[in-house]
Amino acid sequence: MAHFRLTNSLSSPLPEKLVPFSSQSLILHHPFYFAKPKPLIRLARRTGPPLVLAAVGQAEPNRLPQTNAPQVLPEEEEDLPSKSQQQGSQLRNRVVFGLGIGIGVGGVVLAGGWVFATAIAAAVFTGAREYFELVRSRGITEGMTPPPRYVSRVCSVICALMPLFVMYRGHVDVSVSSAAFVLATALLLQRGSPRFAQLSSAIFGLFYCGYLPSFWVKLRCGLAAPALNTSAFKFDYLHAVAALISTMNQMPGLGATWPILLGGQAHWTVGLVATLITISSVIAADTFAFLGGKAFGRTPLTSISPKKTWEGTIIGFCGCIVTSVVLSKVLSWPISLSSAIALGVLSFLGSVFGDLTESMIKRDAGVKDSGTLIPGHGGILDRVDSYLFTGALAYNLINTFLPLYGV
């Protein structure tokens, strides 16, 4: 036990004594405290010059009786089992709900039509509610005035109607412009002084949560041309192309043997194949980036998301390209290798910048997750942030630049 020298800070003639120091109690042997040992907290009641403790000597065995000293376990040791159990429970929930979401999304994509559009509308409505709650959080409201709650609710409903409007009319441009006009009018006519921050955050919500997801409906349901091309099964690449790709070209695609119960070859459209490839490429980009960052991550990518690294991003990019190329051969679309690579590049860019955009919003809001709807995953925006820009990029590439049977 360590001994301490008790001295007077004002050099008074008080006697100096060696006092044993214990982690549980500190006993002062001083003329004012000779009758009974008292804890250090009693020093606050003493008047006169303050006392100073000076350490002398080294630790020696404890000579003070500790008959009533309770044996207290360290707090960290007590918390270890609970922390490990909590982490295991979170991982189990994450895996279970992740598999459930994957199976559900796969079935919705294969079904297409109004089933797909309705599912997108439900996800959009929930995501829009989460977005406007983030806008109203303390971290963002410190620098701006959020839109009124009734405006947030109206915007959420409008965002949910956009995918359905695309399914019904084939485009969403008119609905977006009309919604923006109604929104601006409502904000300008409200009581008090309207703020530009209210208008800008609401308009961005329409774009981010409604307009961008609508492109997935245009991609899946709007590109109805058949994705089958029998000549592609015997297409010969130049001798410089890898033997694996050349071998895969000789194999019949999955669409050629698609079950009749699931719609047959008529169900195998450009929209279905493009949606499957794009979603799979985004999943591959996120997965490879996470694994690569864990294994080799050293250089931070950006301050917006400190956990992302350049090493993980590069590995995610390679995994995304490989997935896009391989699936294009398995699904017999697109025919051109350069088109498959371009689709993979855009899928990766949309994934990264969509993720960073939501990270920026959450960072300003001062929250970790956008919501708590999905156990182990957070909110809807936490799961779909990588897909928001990707659908628009993929659709514009296919509809504008790729010569796909007149699409």
3-state SS of 47-111 is CCCCEEEEEECCCCCCCCCCCCCCCCCCHHHHHHHHHHHHHHHHHHHHHHHHHHHHHHHHHHHHH
Mean pLDDT of the region 258-283: 77
Phi–psi pair at 374, nearest 5 degrees: -105, 110
pLDDT band of residue 139 (cuts 50, 70, 90) is: low
Question: Other CB atoms closer than 10 Å to residue 146's CB: what's the count?
Answer: 20
Distance in angstroms (rounded) separating the CA atoms of residues 336 and 339: 5
Which sign does the torsion angle of CA 133, 134, 136, 139 carry?
Answer: positive
Whether the per-residue pLDDT at 88 is higher than 90: the answer is no
Mean pLDDT score of the chain, rounded to an integer?
74
Contact 126, 404 (CB under 8 A): no
8 Å CB contact between 59 and 23: no
pTM of the predicted structure, to 2 decimals: 0.70
Q: How far is 108 from 131, CA to CA, in rounded Å?
A: 24
Measured CA to CA, the distance from residue 279 to residue 273 in angstroms comes to: 10
Extents of the domains making up the chain: 2-56, 112-222, 226-407
Q: What is the pLDDT of residue 50?
A: 47
- Residue 19 main-chain phi, psi, to 5 deg: -115, 125
Structure tokens of 33? 């405290």
pLDDT interval class at 126 (50, 70, 90): very high
**Whether the Cβ atoms of residue 206 and residue 385 lie closer than 8 Å to each other:** no
CA atoms within 13 A on the CB side of 172: 27
**Is residue 199's pLDDT more than 70?**
yes
Which has the higher per-residue pLDDT, 358 or 46? Answer: 358
Taking only the tens place, the pLDDT of each residue in 243-262 is 444 444 444 455 555 544 45
Residue type, 390: T
Residue bearing the bigger pLDDT, 54 or 182: 182
Q: Using pLDDT thresholds of 50, 70 and 90, give the confidence band for residue 87.
A: low
Strands 51-56 and 300-302: unpaired
Reported as a pLDDT band with limits 50, 70 and 90, residue 264 is low
